[in-house]
A and B are shown apart, each in its own frame.
Chain A
Amino acid sequence: MSLRAGIVLFPGTNRERDMAIALAKVSGGREPVMIWHKETSLPPLDLIVLPGGFSHGDYLRCGAMAAQSPVMRAVRDFAEAGGHVLGVCNGFQILTEAGMLPGALLRNAGLRFLGQDHSMRVEQTDSIYTSGYAQGQIIRVVLAHGDGNYFADTATLDRLEGEGQVAFRYASPSGEVSDATNPNGSQRGIAGIISANRRVLGLMPHPEDYVDPLMGGEDGLPMFAGIVQGLAA
């Protein structure tokens, strides 16, 4: 059982090692393939990850230029053929800019970068990313973003809610979701959303930074264990 994962590197990507460590941990030490953003074709893969960072400096808009990278055509084709794509933080921003997930990520409401722990509530469990959690489970994750304020129009938000596409919501450690537990102004406290076919997930927090108790927690581990279980059969 081993997962064939690829991590896309854009100029300015900086959380590729964090992601590689998390994926290797659940794949018997197998390191994911690193894919340069100028590539136009992909090796055979089970999962593509768009990791965190500041692609192209996050100039213009976060993720906007990365979304136009040559590799994104291949990533889109991969997803359209039913492939699994995970976008974390900058990766989530790139997925929305590329139109692969609805909505957009705006500047944090407090206008400051947030580098801190936060809790989020698991809102659905019917995907490889979330099957390792219980519905409503509260997990602790690392936030590290300046533009994580999720926005979509009301119709889109209603559709996401109706289709069970809201994957994670910011919460208090005891599980309440309110304005007070919303760190960045995201609409309806949304921290992550998933595509209708449950294969493309984007989220702002970093589950990959909590896969080892030594680093302060392992609430992110079930996501990666779930991915391996779901894909490396």
Chain B
Amino acid sequence: MSARPVSEKLAREFGLNAEEWGRVQTIMGRMPSFTELGIFSVMWSEHCSYKSSRIWLKELPTKAEWVVHGPGENAGVVDIGDGLTAIFKMESHNHPSFIEPYQGAATGVGGILRDVFTMGARPIANLNALRFGRPENPRTKRVVDGVVRGIGGYGNCVGVPTVGGEVNFHAAYDGNPLVNAMTVGIAPKDRIFLSAAAGIGNQVVYVGSKTGRDGIHGATMASAEFDANSEEKRPTVQVGDPFTEKLLIEACLELMGTDAIVAIQDMGAAGLTSSSVEMAGKGGVGIQLDLDSVPQRETGMSAYEMMLSESQERMLIVLRPGAEEIARAIFEKWDLDFAVIGHITDTGRIVVRHKGVTEADIPLGPLADEAPLYRRPIQWPVPLPVLDNATITCTMPTDQALLQLVASPDLCSRAWIASQYDPAVGGQTVKKPGQADAAIVKIEGSNRALAITTDCTPRYCQADPKMGGMQAVAEAWRNITATGARPLAITDNMNFGNPEKPEIMGQFAAAIQGMAEACIALDFPVVSGNVSLYNETEGKGILPTPAIGGLGVIEDAHVARGIAIEPHQDLVLIGETAGWLGQSLFLREIMGREEGAPPPVNLVAERRNGDFVRHQIAKGCVHACHDVSDGGLLVALAEMALAGNCGLALDELNTAHATHAFLFGEDQSRYVIAAKDASGLLEEARTAGIPACLLGRTGGNELTFPGGSSVSLADLKEAHERFFKTWMS
């Protein structure tokens, strides 16, 4: 793109409003150049500046004894013992994945990997949280196929196992799927690399792939709503090269083993602009870039294009004096580009030179400090009223209802997806997808393992954003707890609609409040995150989706529990059952109604029940454990039976609630435990005041329900696996 005359009209085209444009002119004290306007517009985009969300994100708790670095760095860092840290983050790539599903998802994985290894961590696990439109929508199939191939294509090649994730389908995502990718890495606590530049005169080095014209203005695209012309935005989607990423991981980690690095940052959204501005800004220094030295893939690129390119697999490094030759040798060994493109200055400004001309000269302080910050108008959501269970009369027999539920797109087997990802590379995956409530990945050379999960129930968030936010955090905590691990911290990926609409801002703020309450009650702080707004198509918003990535640690991986049952065991339900049907999948899939308030989360009970379960696992009293979530108790039991290829028989119910409400209600804070002999556990629960009851026994080849009806394991398996097989054949 060649330079165009700078005007208010152009500023608006670049996404700046009149007031922001005025502020740019005040800061510059003159008419900005084309390149300068480009820099302002991407740095002040929603994607980079968090201008609508920042004010609310401050309400989230971010501290705990084990938090080493909270939000503000490339990823969050928590102490996991043995002198090690886990470094993790989740990030969205929603808009690119709709336009070009394969590359959108692939580069999403690549970007989040870089956020983690840029801090010195070797990535050991990838997860994802995906939301797609209705399966009946002809477009959905293409998006699902492309996204799954893209995640696999990138993750498998870089050699990081994809160990977990979640998938939902809903009409609200028809024109705006969500692709949230999470990476977890491990680094020694005393070898963590940050991005704050320092040392006047130090060299600024560019490594990785060459720069092309890809994805220019990607950050501003991620901050704009879709319209009917979105298809034409295709050329701005970046193309990923996982092979180069793999080389970049190895080369960066090799360089990090020396003392050559002062600061390092990946070039993500807004590429060279955001990386150089953030590095210099955080360090309180200035930076001068000489674009003639930037490795270029195309000829005739302008300063504007180079500063805004979102070519993938690139990093910016500030080197210690005298370290150039060591660094160059390492990147040459890995066949990657290496170029000194600038140096650190004491001016507090970013100066961009190209072909003998100063293309940009901006004071960094005001660029950051005077970035727009909006307290947007809010319309607080009114939670839907509680559904009266008396209005739900179910005539469908239990066995039929279960078969229909496990065959539904939201509850069916995810094996078709999971089998396109490599879950085992690295040789440390203890529990693969479907084997436990959270993925369990061991740390090589140690008995210690991480428990990792992604969670959110968007239909709860739509009905009551505050409760939905709370539930998402609680469910992540619960899933980690169900494996026996100790939950440590979360990363959040806030996917919402247009923040300029008060009701959307209300959803956002309420969800944050719910999340904050849960984080505090469960000692489960937020250490990193990402906000994706404007997820709307032609004015229709998505369900509010605050996706939570949770991480926990277990001292001995052998203690970690999965969900698979074995014969001759007692089945115990922990937690209170009120038969909550509002917003349940039973209500939607069997009764055809999407109504009511979501199940409330009692955070005191959540913590008490979870701490009890974790303690029982640590004592060795638990063979298998599964939390009760989507689909309720019977679906949880069916999943345990399928995982262990083992039947079970339930006792007659001793409850005042209707059978379908007891079996399919989605009351929170509950777990099913399988244990050889549960009498001791039940006794301890009684003493501790934890609601617990014996449900039945495991064994046989069928599931037998109260009232005597039953389903064979074979029929259950067939129903569970039917959807993707049929849909994708």
Given a CB threshold of 8 Å, the question of whether A touches B is answered with yes
Taking beta carbons and an 8 Å cutoff, which residues of A are in contact with B?
11-12, 14-15, 17-18, 21-22, 52-54, 56-59, 112-116, 142, 144, 146, 206, 208-209, 214-216
**Total count of chain B residues near the partner, CB < 8 A:** 35
Q: Would you mind naming 27 contact pairs between A and B with Cβ atoms under 8 Å apart?
A: A11-B334, A12-B157, A12-B243, A14-B246, A17-B427, A18-B425, A18-B426, A21-B444, A22-B427, A53-B159, A54-B243, A54-B246, A56-B243, A57-B244, A112-B419, A113-B149, A113-B152, A113-B421, A113-B422, A115-B420, A115-B422, A115-B423, A116-B419, A209-B427, A215-B427, A215-B428, A215-B430
Would A208 and B156 count as touching, CB distance under 8 A?
no
Would B158 and A14 count as touching, CB distance under 8 A?
yes
Per-residue A-contact encoding for B410-449, CB less than 8 Å = 1, 0 else? 0000010011111111111110100000000010100000
Would A113 and B156 count as touching, CB distance under 8 A?
yes
Q: Which of B162, B425, B442 contacts A14 (CB 8 A)?
A: B425
Closest to A208 in B: B427
| Distance between B600 CB and nearest chain A CB, rounded to angstroms | 38
| Distance between B337 CB and nearest chain A CB, rounded to angstroms | 14
- Complex Cα distance, B427 from A139, in Å, reads 18
Closest to B153 in A: A113
Enumerate chain B residues within 8 angstroms of A58, measured Cβ to Cβ.
Answer: 157, 243
Closest to A146 in B: B156
Enumerate chain A residues within 8 angstroms of B444, measured Cβ to Cβ.
Answer: 17, 21
Check: B247 CB closer than 8 A to any chain A CB: yes
Taking beta carbons and an 8 Å cutoff, which residues of B are in contact with A?
149, 152-153, 156-159, 162, 241-244, 246-247, 334-335, 415, 418-430, 432, 442, 444, 557-558
- Complex Cα distance, B162 from A112, in Å, reads 16
Enumerate chain B residues within 8 angstroms of A142, measured Cβ to Cβ.
Answer: 424
Would B152 and A54 count as touching, CB distance under 8 A?
no
| Distance between B448 CB and nearest chain A CB, rounded to angstroms | 12
Enumerate chain A residues within 8 angstroms of B558, measured Cβ to Cβ.
Answer: 214
| Distance between B414 CB and nearest chain A CB, rounded to angstroms | 12
- Complex Cα distance, B246 from A52, in Å, reads 14
- Complex Cα distance, B423 from A144, in Å, reads 8
Task: Please name 13 further chain A to chain B contacts, defined as beta carbons within 8 Å, in addition to the given A18-B426, A114-B419, A144-B422, sorted by A numbering.
Answer: A11-B247, A14-B157, A18-B427, A54-B157, A113-B149, A113-B422, A115-B152, A115-B422, A115-B424, A208-B427, A209-B427, A214-B442, A215-B429
Would B157 and A57 count as touching, CB distance under 8 A?
yes
| Distance between A39 CB and nearest chain B CB, rounded to angstroms | 12
Q: Which of A14, A57, A112 contacts B241 (CB 8 A)?
A: A57
Closest to B336 in A: A11
Would A21 and B241 count as touching, CB distance under 8 A?
no
Closest to B560 in A: A214
- Complex Cα distance, B242 from A58, in Å, reads 11
| Distance between A174 CB and nearest chain B CB, rounded to angstroms | 14
Q: Which of A12, A21, A53 contacts B427 (CB 8 A)?
A: A21
Closest to A142 in B: B424
- Complex Cα distance, B423 from A208, in Å, reads 14
- Complex Cα distance, B159 from A21, in Å, reads 16
Q: Which of B244, B335, B425 contacts A144 (CB 8 A)?
A: B425
The 3 A-B pairs with the shortest beta carbon distances in the complex, nearest first, are: A14-B159, A57-B243, A18-B427
- Complex Cα distance, B422 from A112, in Å, reads 12
Q: Contacts A53-B159, A216-B432: A15 and B425 contacting too (C-beta < 8 A)?
A: yes
| Distance between A205 CB and nearest chain B CB, rounded to angstroms | 11
Closest to B246 in A: A12
| Distance between A229 CB and nearest chain B CB, rounded to angstroms | 22
Enumerate chain A residues within 8 angstroms of B422, measured Cβ to Cβ.
Answer: 113, 115, 144
| Distance between B251 CB and nearest chain A CB, rounded to angstroms | 10
Enumerate chain B residues within 8 angstroms of A144, measured Cβ to Cβ.
Answer: 156, 422, 424-425
Would A54 and B425 count as touching, CB distance under 8 A?
no
Enumerate chain A residues within 8 angstroms of B242, measured Cβ to Cβ.
Answer: 54, 57
Would B426 and A17 count as touching, CB distance under 8 A?
yes
- Complex Cα distance, B330 from A51, in Å, reads 23
Enumerate chain A residues within 8 angstroms of B426, measured Cβ to Cβ.
Answer: 17-18
Enumerate chain A residues within 8 angstroms of B425, measured Cβ to Cβ.
Answer: 14-15, 18, 52, 144
Enumerate chain B residues within 8 angstroms of A17, measured Cβ to Cβ.
Answer: 426-427, 444
| Distance between B244 CB and nearest chain A CB, rounded to angstroms | 8
- Complex Cα distance, B158 from A212, in Å, reads 24
Q: Which of A12, A18, A115, A206 contacts B418 (CB 8 A)?
A: A115
Closest to B159 in A: A14
Enumerate chain B residues within 8 angstroms of A18, measured Cβ to Cβ.
Answer: 424-427
Would A113 and B159 count as touching, CB distance under 8 A?
no
Enumerate chain A residues within 8 angstroms of B247, measured Cβ to Cβ.
Answer: 11-12
Closest to A211 in B: B427
- Complex Cα distance, B246 from A58, in Å, reads 12
Enumerate chain A residues within 8 angstroms of B421, measured Cβ to Cβ.
Answer: 113, 115
Closest to B432 in A: A216
Enumerate chain A residues within 8 angstroms of B156, measured Cβ to Cβ.
Answer: 54, 113, 115, 144, 146
Enumerate chain B residues within 8 angstroms of A216, measured Cβ to Cβ.
Answer: 429-430, 432
- Complex Cα distance, B612 from A43, in Å, reads 56
Closest to B145 in A: A112
Would B424 and A209 count as touching, CB distance under 8 A?
yes
Enumerate chain A residues within 8 angstroms of B149, measured Cβ to Cβ.
Answer: 112-113
Q: Which of B335, B415, B432 contacts A11 (CB 8 A)?
A: B335
Enumerate chain A residues within 8 angstroms of B420, measured Cβ to Cβ.
Answer: 112-115
- Complex Cα distance, B421 from A146, in Å, reads 10
Enumerate chain B residues within 8 angstroms of A54, measured Cβ to Cβ.
Answer: 156-157, 159, 242-243, 246
Enumerate chain B residues within 8 angstroms of A14, measured Cβ to Cβ.
Answer: 157-159, 246, 425
Closest to A216 in B: B432
Closest to B334 in A: A11
Enumerate chain B residues within 8 angstroms of A116, measured Cβ to Cβ.
Answer: 415, 418-419
